[in-house]
Amino acid sequence: MAQESARRSESARRSESGLPIEPVYGPAALTGWDPDRKLGEPGAYPFTRGVYPTMYTGRPWTMRQYAGFGTAAESNARYRQLIAHGTAGLSVAFDLPTQMGHDSDAPLAHGEVGKVGVAIDSIEDMRVLLDGIPLDQVSTSMTINAPAALLLLLYQLVAEEQGVPADRLTGTVQNDVLKEYIARGTYIFPPKPSLRLTADVFRYCTAEIPKWNTISISGYHMAEAGASPVQEIAFTLADGIEYVRTAVAAGMDVDDFAPRLSFFFVARTTLLEEVAKFRAARRIWARVMREEFGARNPKSLMLRFHTQTAGVQLTAQQPEVNLVRVAVQALAAVLGGTQSLHTNSFDEAIALPTDKSARLALRTQQVLAYESDVTATVDPFAGSYAVERMTDDVEEAAVGLMRRVADLGGAVAAIEQGFQKAAIERNAYRIAQETDSGDRVVVGVNRFRLDEEEPYEPLRVDPAIEARQVQRLARLRAERDQGAVDTALDALKKAAEGEDNVLYPMKEALRARATVGEVCGALREVWGTYEPSDVF
């Protein structure tokens, strides 16, 4: 028996996280395994089997489509199409200048306006973006981090103009700046004032927009930068712990804000490990919230998450093959128990998705939800020798990595020492080496290639968009009450210098038609900007 076990271990394939996957699993894989402690019931601690008792047997996950490009008017047209095709939730992409708190006419914005998302400079743009969208019926997720508070307030202001009360608004603002220091780089302020701004959003929404998810703590972008599944959940949950500590230190009761926390993960083509990853993440978070923070509300223990299929695994070669990849990735997310899902379009490795490819991406989810049987039963992998063992392995490895972050002083201290960034870069290098050598098969790239690629005409952003946005800004500044803007920005700076919640004066500045760049500039004057450090 021992020899057989040794032979299996020698021939074991390694997972994306470098953990062994045995050719055969049996009862011995779960020796000493306690199903009551490890599994529990669906919708009950430790939530391994899902955060709700019925999961998709009651209704399917929220089908979101991530969209936004060019001008607010163009993005608005795409949103209306998606809603008409059955999308229940919007997910807004913003261009890089907006993400980094710059107006479209700023020198640093040149060449990037409207390229990877929609340009939003002021309340005028947000009005156009949301024109005709029923904000009391549609759940909206906004992928924005450093200036998240501004975009949330602009959304609320437009809702007020439409007559929709704040307590009817539902959605999520990503608002996860810590992962920007780790993996993306679209940060503005140093970590400490950024965390203060995050806590202000928590407090503001608790009082003003109670159904809004105040943060989507994201591992997706770490995965896109090269993080393994274990690194993805370990670093994401460590960030989550830092946010909870910040809010508690600011005087908030954990059960007042924790139920509105949400997470954002990737779904790769390695289906079994992805399912195990999601199950392990729920279990770890439930334990941390109960044992470390003393949360009493069951909703505070639930790790609710949005998933996006893995853009980093899409290829420009033979792009139609991405349809298959996305279907497998989406199935991994569903079997893992996601609460909402975005499926990437097959042409995203080339350019922005076309209307047709975006519709096909949505249809992929609809086939899973309405033609397959994955919604017929809760947690179909429960009790699987392979998945339960892999869940334990992922959990153990992730907890070990979280301890390393804690030993460095927590997520912010580890970020300042460059720990997470260096670890992810090492893993990304490993993946690149395996792909180059052919040890990691990528269909159409290093195996099963075509002699000549078929032509494909992608959607392209009109370069004249930047000029039009600059003209809109000039007209805005000429027509507004500049004295009211200056007064509002001064009030914002005063709040930033003290301890008052900055969202209230920020909202008044935006109402007075201050721009995103001007509001962020006022905060830069008080808080400064972040300069990265590479220690590891």
Question: In this structure, is residue 456 part of a structural domain?
Answer: no
> What is the pLDDT, as a whole number, of residue 78?
86
> What is the pLDDT, as a whole number, of residue 6?
45
141 vs 359: CA distance, rounded Å = 19
Block means of pLDDT (10 residues each) for the chain, 536 residues, are 46 87 94 88 97 96 81 90 82 94 97 92 97 93 96 98 96 95 95 95 96 95 97 98 95 95 97 98 98 97 97 96 98 97 94 88 97 97 96 98 98 95 96 95 94 76 88 97 98 98 98 98 97 69
Structure confidence by residue, pLDDT tens digits, 415-472: 999 999 999 999 999 999 999 999 999 999 999 999 888 777 776 778 889 999 999 9
Tokens of 390: 């892999």
Question: In this structure, is residue 512 part of a structural domain?
Answer: no
Question: Please, what's the b/e burial string for 104-129 (b: 16 or more CB within 10 A of its CB; e: otherwise)?
Answer: bbbeebeebbbbebbbbbbbbbbbbb
Largest CA distance in the chain: 82
Length of the chain: 536
> What is the pLDDT, as a whole number, of residue 444?
93
Please tell me the pTM assigned to this model. Answer: 0.91
Question: In this structure, is residue 467 part of a structural domain?
Answer: no
C-beta of residue 57 within 8 angstroms of C-beta of residue 378? yes
Query: DSSP E strands: which ranges in 13-131?
Result: 13-14, 20-21, 62-67, 89-93
> What is the pLDDT, as a whole number, of residue 535?
58
C-beta of residue 138 within 8 angstroms of C-beta of residue 211? no
| β-strand pairing of 215-218 with 139-143 | unpaired
Which CATH number fits the domain that encloses residue 96?
Answer: 3.20.20.240
- Helix extents (H) in 345-418: 355-370, 385-407, 411-416
What is the residue-wise DSSP string for 320-356?
A: GGHHHHHHHHHHHHHHTT-SEEEPPPTTTTTSBPPHH
Question: In this structure, is residue 216 part of a structural domain?
Answer: yes
> What is the pLDDT, as a whole number, of residue 174?
95
Residue 168 per-residue DSSP state:
G
C-beta of residue 468 within 8 angstroms of C-beta of residue 341? no
H/E segment holding residue 139? strand 139-143
Query: Number of helices (H) and strands (E), helices first, in the chain?
Result: 22, 11
Question: In this structure, is residue 466 part of a structural domain?
Answer: no
Question: In this structure, is residue 310 part of a structural domain?
Answer: yes
C-beta of residue 49 within 8 angstroms of C-beta of residue 380? no
Q: Side-chain half-sphere of 182: how many Cα atoms within 13 Å?
A: 32
Structure confidence by residue, pLDDT tens digits, 60-109: 999 987 777 778 999 999 889 888 888 777 889 999 999 999 999 999 99
Question: In this structure, is residue 88 part of a structural domain?
Answer: yes
230 vs 407: CA distance, rounded Å = 18
Question: In this structure, is residue 242 part of a structural domain?
Answer: yes
Beta bridge partners of 196: none
- Tell me if residue 468 falls in helix, strand or coil: helix
Tokens of 126: 């947000």
- Tell me if residue 528 falls in helix, strand or coil: coil
For the chain, what is the domain count?
1
Domain ranges, residue 177: 46-369+379-437
